[in-house]
Amino acid sequence: MFNYCPPKSLPDLISETYPDGKRYYTLEDGSRLPSVTTVIGAQKKQAILEWRKRVGEEEANRVSKKATSRGTNVHKLCEQYLNNETGYMTGAMPDSVEMFLDIKPFLNKINNIHYQEQALWSKQLGMAGRTDCIGEYDGVLSSIDFKTSKKVKSHEDIEDYFWQTTAYALMYEEMVGVPIHQLVIIMAVEHAPPLVFIQKTEDHIEGLVKAIKYYNENKW
């Protein structure tokens, strides 16, 4: 059984995704903030457009749909498992179950969970989002994210994942008052062993700040 110990009650936020892919969260005071993925993803927009042009819209849509479905299904299994739910694999797609079982030993290193799927935000950073998990990993309070991939990736391939978890760590500290010094990316890989990346939050603050600056200057 996983232990839950939220330090304080935080309100939820309503989000809305627009046709251009941008997502915004509405705060309790009525103001809106772009999502973490919208801000961080701005730097990849041009590369994605070029990829779609290269492979064709039909193939791009097929690949994107499969990746989204795979990620959503595995993420749901992780969330239900960490919520101590029973029967969480009933009706799940076999490939999703296989990828979940690959990373399950690493999920078992998580405990004393503060939040799962909790909305966090920062007017100072100028964005909001929903963290996968804030909790202890191997006894260290961490900003944790669950990812899936069709191929093995290196540290250099996932810099934006570290910026994302850094953003949640900083938002958590701003809202709760407790710093998070560790980032954890748990990645299930199709037909390959899972990957776990552990980094220090402070090592990725500069990259996050640059990503925010790029978004604000380009207003993509």
Beta strands 32-34 and 140-149: pairing type? unpaired
pLDDT (tens digit per residue) in 29-61: 999 999 999 999 887 665 555 545 565 666 645
CATH number, domain of 131, equals: 3.90.320
Largest CA distance in the chain: 48
**9 within a domain of the structure (yes/no):** no
Cα atoms in the 13 Å half-sphere on the side-chain side of 46: 5
DSSP codes, 56-120 = -HHHHHHHHHHHHHHHHHHHHHHHHHHTT-SSTTTT--HHHHHHHHHHHHHHTTEEEEEEEEEEE
Q: What is the identity of the amino acid at 152? A: V
| Enclosing domain of residue 68 | 31-218
**15 within a domain of the structure (yes/no):** no
Q: What is the number of structural domains in the chain?
A: 1
**203 within a domain of the structure (yes/no):** yes
Instruction: Report CA-CA distances (Å) from 43 to 63, 122, 194.
Output: 20, 21, 27
Beta strands 14-17 and 23-26: pairing type? antiparallel
Quick one: how far is CA 107 from the chain centroid?
15
- Token pair 């993420």: residue: 75
**20 within a domain of the structure (yes/no):** no
Q: Which residues of 154-191 are buried (b: 16+ CB within 10 A; e: fewer)?
A: eeeebebbbbbbbbbbbbbbebbeeebebbbbbbbbee
Integer Rg of the chain from CA: 17
Provide the residue-wise pLDDT of the chain in tens; the chain has 220 residues. Answer: 999 999 999 999 999 998 878 899 999 999 999 999 999 988 766 555 554 556 566 664 565 556 566 778 999 999 999 999 998 888 888 889 999 999 999 999 999 999 999 999 999 999 999 999 999 999 999 999 999 998 999 999 999 999 999 999 999 999 999 999 999 999 999 999 999 999 999 999 999 999 999 999 986 5
**25 within a domain of the structure (yes/no):** no
- Token pair 């939040």: residue: 115
**22 within a domain of the structure (yes/no):** no
**19 within a domain of the structure (yes/no):** no
CA distance 215 to 220: 7
**5 within a domain of the structure (yes/no):** no
